[in-house]
Amino acid sequence: MHMTMDVLRGAVTERWALAVDVRPDQVSATATDPDGQKWTADATNLWSALRGLRVQLDEVGIRLGLNAARPDVQPSRMSLQMGGGRQAYAVTLGRPASREDLIDVLDPAPLDTVGTVSAQDDHRQRWLDSLG
């Protein structure tokens, strides 16, 4: 699968290519900037491959404009194992996730709503704590 996405590099918005290669035992996600530089991450599911890609890009101040990069988006074990990590939940503090909260991790997200992997991890812990 090939697509394009908005990316925030520092304060500059760019349009990048994203290639996702799904095989039975591995998913590869490769982001390519307008100059042709590539970043790739491999994992057992799409969510984890995108997360690995984001870890690399976080180090150089780059944020992907995808739902997978929103701090309020979290996968469940079932979505990772049964759905290959293609869907995750847009969670709300104080409220358990439900089927209505499922979204596609590759859908575009406004750049002002995305964050780092660390911010996503922090939000996940706050959400879990809010459930009591």
- Is the Cβ–Cβ distance between 37 and 31 less than 8 Å? no
Q: What does pTM read for this prediction?
A: 0.94
> Tens digit of pLDDT per residue, the chain (132 long)?
999 999 999 999 999 999 999 998 899 999 999 999 999 999 999 999 999 999 999 999 999 999 999 999 999 888 888 778 899 999 999 999 999 999 999 999 999 999 999 999 999 999 999 998
Give how far the C-alpha of residue 76 lies from the chain's centroid of Cα atoms, to the nearest Å.
13
Task: Identify the CA nearest to 69 among candidates 24, 18, 22.
Answer: 18
Q: Rounded to whole angstroms, what are the CA distances from 18 to 3, 33, 121? A: 5, 9, 23
Please state, in angstroms and rounded to a whole number, the distance separating the CA atoms of residues 84 and 93. Answer: 25
